[in-house]
Amino acid sequence: MDLNKINILSYLKDKNFYNEYTFREYDFLFNIFLENKNFSNHGNHYKWIKILKSLPNISTSYLNYSNSSIIIGKKNEINDAQTKTLEKELLKLSPWRKGPFNIFGLEIDSEWRSEKKWQRIQSYLPNINGMRIADIGCSNGYYSFKLLELQPDLIVGMDKTALYIIQFLALKAYVKQIQELITLPCSSEEFNFKKINFDLILSMGVLYHSKNPSTHLNSLRYLLKKNGYIILETIVSNKSANIDIKKNQTYAGMKNVRTIFTKKNLNDLMIFHGFKNIEIINDSFTDSNEQRSTKWMSGKSFKDFTLPNGNTLEGYPPVCRSILVAQKK
């Protein structure tokens, strides 16, 4: 079968690869990812395959989620030459947006200090032991790895950015024994396995990128079990009206921001799309301690797109993010 000519989601669905056992066939999924047309048509496809094959061929049973960094492996499990190779190859997969990670003693200091958001949501998580979880817009899987500590049954990450999937595969290659965590190159709108319903969905920083927020929220509701939980983080407007970013314009330097809702309008939209028990659990203003340029993301970051008074470079008010918890009716 020519995997370059099939759609990964259709293939998995047609073959009934919707249950946890076949989802956990890591090597099978690894090959599907690399040969899928979304990747084979990408300009960096062969470069990424070469990088993955050039990573030191070692494995570890050590995985620690309890620190700020996701720690994979111990420093004494790898020699100096392997450490240099590991750093050189993983740097080629920059920019690393989410993290931090520590891989055999090598610290990946990502653009975002993602543990700060994790700390904001951690105490509001339901008891997820044995749950099925979807991590929408999962990037390289930082939050998915953090969730592993709480012993869910299955975590399915979804992200359409090819580079982030490759970053995840680079990390996952060292802990193949972690079978309950996978990432798929798709959006929530494209994930259509009718026989999977999730107990919990994380949607962290996705809604304001959506071309159609209603379609996005509908897809999240569709994926949830009745009374299932959603934790949603998004930028909000502190004005009396939504902020609509016109095509070809930017918001805090981001080219793909669409609509920024007021808290009231966001609450009303969630109710309209079938959610209940909606509660905003955190408001925070993004700053350059949480999002900044590093060796692992050397391009422009938050401080380059904000003014001394906190407004964005485009003149919008300071970037405020809200986190809400809700349930499906």
Residue type, 15: K
Instruction: Give me the CATH number covering residue 322.
Output: 3.40.50.150
- Tokens in use for 114? 């993602």
Q: Looking at the predicted structure, is the pLDDT value of residue 24 above 50?
A: no
- First-to-final CA distance of the chain: 42
Q: Report the distance separating Cα 304 and Cα 253, nearest Å.
A: 8
Q: What's the average model confidence in pLDDT over 316-323?
A: 96
Tell me the pLDDT band of 196, cut-offs 50, 70 and 90: confident
Count of domains forming the chain: 1
pLDDT given for residue 216 in this prediction? 95
pLDDT for the residue numbered 25: 46
Residue 104 falls in which region: left (phi positive, over 0), alpha (psi -120 to 50) or beta: left
> What span, in angstroms and rounded, lies between the C-alpha atoms of 215 and 28?
31
Give residue-wise pLDDT tens across range 221-253: 999 999 999 999 999 999 899 999 988 899 999
Distance CA 2, CA 255 (A): 35
Give CA–CA dist 94/304, Å, rounded. Answer: 19
Please state, as a whole number, how many other Cβ atoms lie within 10 Å of the Cβ of residue 317.
15
- pLDDT-derived band at 4 (thresholds 50, 70, 90) equals very low
pLDDT at 18 over 60: no
- Model confidence at 303: pLDDT above 90: yes
Chain-centroid distance, C-alpha 145: 10
Give the distance, in angstroms, between the CA of residue 272 and the centroid of all CA atoms in the same chain.
Answer: 26
Residue-range definition of the domain harbouring residue 236: 3-328
Written as six digits, the tokens of 251 are: 């918001």
Task: State the chain's mean pLDDT as an integer.
Answer: 88
- Asked if 217 contacts 281 with a C-beta cutoff of 8 angstroms, the reply is no
Question: Which comes out higher in pLDDT, residue 253 or 53?
Answer: 253
| Structure tokens, 292 | 């900044």
CA atoms within 13 A on the CB side of 243: 23
Q: 50-59, 98-107, 191-200, 223-232: which has the minimum mean pLDDT?
A: 191-200
Least confident of 43-57, 113-127, 253-267, 277-291: 43-57
